[in-house]
Structure 1
């Protein structure tokens, strides 16, 4: 049941990260929170299988804050790729 707290926290912080990162018009509103939530589930489950208990601060830091940091980095990379792709397409069309 504690995994739900990690998932809700990662999703909420993912929403905040979505609004803090520029280029919102180039991606969907659910991209960053979805990546953060999925990564939090994977990290939390993986650390639990490795024997890290729910009382460990490292479990919570890695699953919540770590997943949001990775999701933000992936979002920035996706936006940069989209900008490059759009510029290439506009150049090919002569716009």
Structure 2
């Protein structure tokens, strides 16, 4: 049940990261929060399976802060790829 706290916190921070990262016109509004939420679920579950309890601060820091960092890096990579492919397409079309 505690995993829901990590998921909601990661999603909320992912929404904040969405607005802090430039290039919002090149990606969907739900991309960054979705990546953060999925990453939080994976990290939380993996750490639980590794034997780290819910009372450990490392579980919460890794699942919440780590997932937002992963989402920010993934979003930056997606925006960079989108900009590059758009520039290539424009060059190919002669625009």
Asked if these proteins are the same fold (TM beyond 0.5), I'd say yes
Structure 1 unaligned regions, length at least 5:
none
For residue 49 of structure 1, what is the aligned residue in structure 2?
A: 49
In 2: Cα distance, 1:77 partner to 1:39 partner: 16
Superposition pairs for residues 13-32 of structure 1, below 5 Å? 13-32=13-32
Paired residues, number: 95
Q: CA RMSD in A?
A: 0.3
In 2: Cα distance, 1:48 partner to 1:68 partner: 19
For residue 61 of structure 1, what is the aligned residue in structure 2?
A: 61
TM-score (norm 1): 0.99
TM-score (norm 2): 0.99
3-state SS, counterpart of residue 28 of structure 2: coil
